[in-house]
A and B are shown apart, each in its own frame.
Chain A
Amino acid sequence: MAERSPTSHSLTPYGLSAPAFIVCAVFLAAPLIMVLALSFNTFTMATGIQPGFRLDNYIEVLTDDYFHLIFARTFGMALLIALIAALIGTPEAYILHRMAPAWRSAFLLVILGPLLVSVLVRTLGWAVLLGRNGIVNSALVALGLADRPVEFMYTMTGVIVALVHVLVPFHVLAVWASLRRLDPAVEAAGLSLGASQFTVLRRIVVPQIMPGILSGSLIVFTLAASAFATPSIIGGRRLKVVAVTAYDEFLNSQNWPLGAAIVTVLLVATVVIVLAYNRAVERRYAQVFQ
């Protein structure tokens, strides 16, 4: 302790985090800055990409109704998915929490299953299931629940079903983490004071895991808002979301600057939503956050 000089002491953390810092700088910050720079360039069919610093692309994205619709669709869909994932994932996490340890690890694997499968395989799987002659529709018709096949492919319903499936695990993990911090005696205390099991859940458990529910929803929301593969395969080109639109600008129209501007707006909008949400949540749940 005594021989450790103050300079080496204060430099150690920087030295240790340097490799991670370099990786982040090269592979995250640099591309982001390049995308940002690109978004201020201009593009025409005739001339291609022209360097410069103009706000044309942003003005287009922010004023054109076409883009308004796409952004509204994307965030609306993400919100709905976050809501559904919370409604499914929260009880799922609680059930997992109450299971015997042996069962719990088995079911945890089942819940995390969707994350272990490649996004493309999983999405194509959903396409097979949800198709006009897919298993879901055959079952619905056979059971008499529908008189003709329900349209899932190229509909919002299909996109939401497939995205909820893969994003629920994130919500479950977030809620489960906060459930594990719960003192089991607190539930017992609620019972001993005369509350029913349901009242204990509603009045004692849920308020305490609210931060977990809210942060799980935030994760699901941001992942849903930036999802690409699932909306593009299941939603197709009729139900474009922001990520798909940006992809098309880059690769189909070759309009890289506009694509870059779309991506930048998506990123900024998401970051603003995340920060605002976090502040609101932290203020509201200050006493639970300790």
Chain B
Amino acid sequence: MAFLELSGLIKRFGTVAAVDGLDLAVERGEFVSLLGPSGCGKTTTLHMIAGFVEPNAGRIAVDGRDMAAVPPNRRNIGIVFQSYALFPHMTVAENVGFGLEMRAVAEAERRARIADALDLVRLGELSQRFPRQLSGGQQQRVALARALVIRPDLLLLDEPLSNLDAKLREEMRVEIRLIQRQVGITTILVTHDQAEALVMSDRIAVMERGRIVQIGRPVDAYENPANAFVSTFLGRANLIRAEVVGRQGRRLRVSAGSVEFEAEGEAPDGPVTVSIRPERIGFVEIGGIEARVKVGLFMGEHWLYRLDSPLGELTLCQPNTGALPIADGQAVRVAWSADNARVLHG
């Protein structure tokens, strides 16, 4: 039995279902991300786990114990809010110590644990500051220390990095992941940043309209998206409407417009959607299909080309090797291997 089990969770606000039949099982020590667009019910799910929001239906169990009758202050769950929610009238040390005080931890042990927690997030020397005297990144680490110091059974992170600048965000991703490994705590991260989910998680649960549409290891979810929504939400994808015209096992022959090509997957005859990642398409001298460069966008470590092709607009991603980029308007030929053209369900 999994450590955290959500089954059939439903939460309605008025007539709209914010969470609409959500099932999720998280193993002890696992790091799972809930990834999805704004308004898909991520925060609501987290708040139901923490006990701030009561579900209309469904079951939440932690370590086999039903949480329905357990009030939020008895759940022993550490939560880092999107707004950090630090206590502005308390110092960093008082913020971190609050949970210990509530657990009646003795003064001496409390001080030691506060110091340990602040060392863990590398904030030892700021313990006497007030939250407003800290930068966004420092506040976020205080919030993390405050949640970890109570040694919670479960750590919930609600878009904890969304207010940070790009550089700090990348550092904190790694830092949180390392702390989580070190402490070995079961963690759920809510985010709508796919890069964050890919880097940090053991498994990613992609949500759409209050449900989980796919859950799996980051590599699996990226390589084998369950549907068009997942393929465009996790990374970029060229989606091509096509028709299955022949098959040999999992290798399908599809036709789109005037072009026929091979793709990987399972689907009945008829219309399908084929997904091709931009980095899996390459320029070729001969063969492939004809296309014309509409615009080349410089992204630093790579170039992103928008192409006009018989399949419609294609996006192509090329590593920046220092070679001269291809000029706008130039006629080119592009190709991909059949393995990298995925036939999607629905």
- Is B102 in the interface zone, CB < 8 Å from A? yes
* List of A residues within 8 angstroms of B137 by Cβ: none
In the complex the two chains form, is B88's CB within 8 Å of A287's CB? Answer: yes
Whether A287 touches B132, Cβ cut-off 8 Å, given contacts A194-B73, A195-B102, is yes
In the complex the two chains form, is B89's CB within 8 Å of A192's CB? Answer: no
* List of B residues within 8 angstroms of A188 by Cβ: 47, 50, 52, 72, 79, 81, 85
Q: Mark B75-117, 1 if CB is under 8 A from A, else 0.
A: 1111101110111110000000011001100000000000000
* List of B residues within 8 angstroms of A290 by Cβ: 88, 132
The docked-state distance in angstroms from the alpha carbon of A233 to that of B72 is: 53
* List of B residues within 8 angstroms of A197 by Cβ: 73
* List of B residues within 8 angstroms of A285 by Cβ: 89
The docked-state distance in angstroms from the alpha carbon of A60 to that of B50 is: 68
- Is A145 in the interface zone, CB < 8 Å from B? no
Size of interface on A: residues with Cβ below 8 Å to B: 22
Whether A192 touches B75, Cβ cut-off 8 Å, given contacts A199-B102, A207-B89, A287-B89, is yes
Question: In residues 28-84 of chain B, which contact A (Cβ within 8 Å)?
Answer: 47, 50-52, 71-79, 81-83
CB distance from B221 to the nearest CB of A (A): 30
CB distance from B100 to the nearest CB of A (A): 9
- Is B234 in the interface zone, CB < 8 Å from A? no
* List of B residues within 8 angstroms of A195 by Cβ: 73, 98, 102
Q: Mark A184-222, 1 if CB is under 8 A from B, else 0.
A: 011011111111110100011001100000000000000
Chain B residue with minimal CB distance to A192? B79
In the complex the two chains form, is A192's CB within 8 Å of B50's CB? Answer: yes
* List of A residues within 8 angstroms of B47 by Cβ: 188
In the complex the two chains form, is A192's CB within 8 Å of B132's CB? Answer: no
Whether A208 touches B89, Cβ cut-off 8 Å, given contacts A192-B73, A192-B78, A287-B130, is yes
The docked-state distance in angstroms from the alpha carbon of A199 to that of B51 is: 17
- Is B146 in the interface zone, CB < 8 Å from A? yes
- Is B293 in the interface zone, CB < 8 Å from A? no
* List of A residues within 8 angstroms of B81 by Cβ: 185, 188-189
* List of B residues within 8 angstroms of A185 by Cβ: 81-83, 85
Whether A192 touches B88, Cβ cut-off 8 Å, given contacts A185-B81, A185-B83, A287-B132, is no
Whether A193 touches B89, Cβ cut-off 8 Å, given contacts A185-B83, A188-B81, is no
- Is A288 in the interface zone, CB < 8 Å from B? yes
CB distance from A204 to the nearest CB of B (A): 6
- Is A183 in the interface zone, CB < 8 Å from B? yes
In the complex the two chains form, is A189's CB within 8 Å of B89's CB? Answer: no
The docked-state distance in angstroms from the alpha carbon of A190 to that of B86 is: 9
* List of B residues within 8 angstroms of A204 by Cβ: 87
In the complex the two chains form, is B87's CB within 8 Å of A192's CB? Answer: no
- Is B150 in the interface zone, CB < 8 Å from A? yes
Which of these, B52, B83, B147, contacts A191 with CB under 8 Å? B52
In the complex the two chains form, is B85's CB within 8 Å of A186's CB? Answer: yes
The docked-state distance in angstroms from the alpha carbon of A190 to that of B90 is: 12
* List of A residues within 8 angstroms of B51 by Cβ: 191-192
In the complex the two chains form, is B130's CB within 8 Å of A193's CB? Answer: no
Chain B residue with minimal CB distance to A187? B85
The docked-state distance in angstroms from the alpha carbon of A285 to that of B75 is: 33
Q: Mark A272-290, 1 if CB is under 8 A from B, else 0.
A: 0000000000000101101
Which of these, A186, A191, A196, contacts B87 with CB under 8 Å? A186
* List of A residues within 8 angstroms of B130 by Cβ: 287
* List of B residues within 8 angstroms of A189 by Cβ: 79, 81, 85-87, 146
The docked-state distance in angstroms from the alpha carbon of A193 to that of B104 is: 12
In the complex the two chains form, is A194's CB within 8 Å of B83's CB? Answer: no
The docked-state distance in angstroms from the alpha carbon of A41 to that of B14 is: 71
Whether A193 touches B102, Cβ cut-off 8 Å, given contacts A188-B50, A288-B89, A290-B132, is yes
CB distance from A257 to the nearest CB of B (A): 50
In the complex the two chains form, is B52's CB within 8 Å of A194's CB? Answer: no
* List of B residues within 8 angstroms of A199 by Cβ: 102
Chain A residue with minimal CB distance to B131? A287
In the complex the two chains form, is B83's CB within 8 Å of A193's CB? Answer: no
The docked-state distance in angstroms from the alpha carbon of A185 to that of B83 is: 8
In the complex the two chains form, is A190's CB within 8 Å of B132's CB? Answer: no
* List of A residues within 8 angstroms of B83 by Cβ: 183, 185
In the complex the two chains form, is A196's CB within 8 Å of B89's CB? Answer: no
Which of these, B72, B82, B86, B103, contacts A192 with CB under 8 Å? B72
Chain A residue with minimal CB distance to B89? A207
In the complex the two chains form, is B89's CB within 8 Å of A191's CB? Answer: no
Q: A188-B81, A288-B88 are in contact. List 14 more A-B contacts (CB 8 A).
A: A185-B82, A185-B83, A185-B85, A188-B50, A188-B85, A189-B85, A189-B86, A190-B87, A192-B77, A287-B89, A287-B130, A288-B89, A290-B88, A290-B132
Across chains A and B, which 3 residue pairs bring their CB atoms closest together, nearest first? A193-B99, A194-B102, A185-B85
Jot down 18 A-B pairs with beta carbons below 8 A, ordered by A: A186-B88, A188-B79, A188-B85, A190-B87, A191-B71, A192-B79, A193-B73, A193-B98, A193-B146, A194-B74, A194-B99, A194-B150, A196-B73, A204-B87, A208-B87, A287-B132, A288-B88, A290-B132
